[in-house]
A and B are shown apart, each in its own frame.
Chain A
Amino acid sequence: MGELLAQAWTVARKDLVLEFRTRTALVSAIVFTALVLTVFNFGRDPTAVPTIDLAPTILWVTFTFAAMLALNRAFQLELENQALEGLLVSPLSRTSLYWGKLIANLVFVAVVEAVGLPLFVLFFDVPVGHVLVPLIGVIALATLGFVAVGTLFSALVIRTRFAELLLVVILLPFLVPPLIGAVQVTARLLGGRPLSESVGYLKLLAAYDIVFVSLASFLFRFTVDE
């Protein structure tokens, strides 16, 4: 287990060094997040629907599509000089490779979310100070689930044409359960309802994480082996 995690961290660290050195995908994702929030900000009628009702959906739609950018780049950087082939020839276990990509994607998406959340508060004037800790917990719980599935699918589509489009098409149906859970819990938190009202959805998010992290760790080898 120690070796498995050490190798996963080696892969994740390499991905993060590459990303923070080039910053191409990170800057794109952050700019994308800001633009989407801006468009939603000016594209809604605050007199028709109260902001507090609309805000959770906007937050999660923004995070979901920004995460797609991260997931797309995860294996694209392995196509450079066929590095993926080198990884598969090496003694690196497929599980370590998956976990390495998962860790790097989680860090990447967390950075985007860390920039996106204050922008969301700024644009929509939604007070989150009193629920910041549980809100961050929900964001972490939901993000783990959809990044776990997305990392698996990004490996699946990477050798196909139109990989970026295909990833969105096959991934979005799988994101419905965590999105429903995340939106519902976020809405209750922002509405000042107690966390105990959201236990069912929190269990859904936790179950989704456990099932899909385990399943994706097992299935990953079948997506990368020829």
Chain B
Amino acid sequence: MLSAEGLRHAFGEGRGQVVALDGVSFNLTAGQTLAVFGPNGAGKTTLLKVLAGLIRPQQGSVRVAGGRGAIGWIGHQSHLYEHLTVRENLLFWAALYGVPAARRGPRADQVLERLGMGDRADQPVWSLSRGLAQRAAIAKAVIHDPRVLLLDEPFTGLDLAAAAELRALLGELRGGGAPGGGRVVVLATHNVDEGVELATDVAFQRRGRFVHFAPRAGRGSSDIAEAYRRAVGGTGTDG
């Protein structure tokens, strides 16, 4: 469903060159959630941008079943227009993702109800709190029922309660998508505590390279943090 083969990408040239991706390969099938942990500058966002087709890698290739229309993106920026209402935003993005006109309204209502935002549909985005805006961003990301979800530091800027709520929502969304198979989710974060319980697979990224890539296999956040310290260094909660 989502595969990356030999990804390599660098920014700049000569001595100032920064290698953001170095030989990254993996293959994910429906229901798998890959959590990519790494310090700031490890290349996590570049990886997600390459997977989403925002950056063409210098080497390697990405294959997404269903192409760009099958991808939903959730980052620390919502991609929402502040002066449109939540519903107007959803209808706009649904149109771009090719949701048939007759299904856009009901689909928007369904997604907003599921995210507990039914009563906020006609509010402009600028009037929402950070947590609600993040929920609206999730609604935008799943309006077209994507098979692949790419999450770039989605917990940034959220307080503890909002982050816990977001984790629960993401856990629910992981099970949707392709009939019977669930979604493929790739979550990139610098904080090991943030995404471990969502993951089926864990990767540690350092200077563009996966220095650890294995199934989570029941490991908790303390086990992952310990493995992260050994593989990458640092505390596992910050870059």
**Are both chains from one complex?**
yes
Q: Interface on A for B, CB 8 Å cutoff?
A: 7, 10-11, 14, 17-18, 21-22, 77, 80-83, 85-92, 225-226
Please measure, in the bound complex, the distance between the C-alpha atom of A137 and the C-alpha atom of B107, giving whole angstroms.
44
Chain A: CB-nearest residue to B68: A91
* A91-B68, A226-B49 known; A22+B83 contact, CB < 8 A: yes
Partner-contacting stretch, out of B36-44, B94-102, B108-116, B186-194: B94-102
B75 at the interface (CB under 8 A from A): yes
Chain B, range 79-109, C-beta contacts under 8 Å to A: 79-84, 88, 92-93, 95-98
Give min CB distance, A40 to chain B, whole Å.
Answer: 34
Q: Assess whether B98 is in contact with A91, with CB atoms less than 8 Å apart.
A: yes
Contact B84 A17 (CB under 8 A): yes
Measured CB to CB, the closest approach of chain B to A89, in angstroms, equals 5
Query: Given contacts A82-B79, A91-B67, is CB(A14)–CB(B84) below 8 Å?
Result: yes
Contacting pair B96 A83 (CB below 8 A): no
On whether A14 and B81 interact (CB within 8 A), knowing A86-B73, A87-B96, A90-B97, the answer reads: yes
Taken together as a complex, chains A and B put the C-alpha atoms of A52 and B73 apart, in Å, by 57
List chain A residues, Cβ under 8 A from B96.
7, 10-11, 87, 90-92
CB contacts (< 8 Å) of B140 on chain A: these are 86
Of the candidates B69, B80, B83, B92, the one whose C-beta lies within 8 Å of that of A91 is: B69
Given A10-B92, A91-B97, also A83-B81 (CB < 8 A):
yes
Q: Which of A10, A11, A80 has the most CB of B within 10 A?
A: A80
